[in-house]
Amino acid sequence: MAMKKCKECGEEISSSAKVCPKCGKKQKVSGCLSAILVIIILIIIISVVSGGNNKNITNTIDTSSPKTSTDETSKITLGQKNALRKAKDYLAISGFSYEGLRKQLEFEGFTTDDTTYALDNCEADWNEQAARKAKEYLNVSSFSKSSLMQQLEFEGFTSEQAEYGASAVGY
């Protein structure tokens, strides 16, 4: 077992001791460990400052700007652009109904006009969103066909979309 001297009282103690058994003084981290900690902290700081270059999860939903002509693009407001981006972000992580996504965007503070623009331009297939949401529900709990459809309708899917979602998962 490696030994070292306590910086406070000079007593021989184990090199792994965090506190000196004689004087009770906390022992400082060794030089090598300190250097490693400093490097890790620097990496974290650099990562945060530079934005981290995190990759978004890929999904079948296109998260790029809406496909419009140059003349139309100039008419898109910042609110519409941000609402569309937020809608696509939500669709990339979970299944949403048109109505459920509308409520979420309005909860986020987007205006009705910006929200409507986003919903009409996010290129979502609402039947496929119902199928996705049905699968998400079945991954966490068991449902009969009727209770699954009721849950999907509660989420804002139409009865036709709920039927599609239930069929897509095997009902």
For the segment 55-68, the average pLDDT, to the nearest whole number, is: 43
User: Can you tell me whether residue 13 is helix, strand or coil?
Assistant: strand
Lowest mean pLDDT of 9-18, 106-115, 122-131, 157-166, name the range.
Answer: 9-18
Question: Region 38-67: what's the mean pLDDT?
Answer: 53
Q: How confident is the model at residue 59 (pLDDT cuts 50, 70, 90)?
A: very low
Classify strands 12-14 and 3-5 as parallel, antiparallel or unpaired.
antiparallel
pLDDT(42) > 80? no
pLDDT tens-digit series, residues 107-146: 999 999 999 999 999 999 999 999 999 999 999 999 999 9
**Number of residues assigned to the chain:** 171
Query: Which tokens in the block code for residue 147?
Result: 């209770």
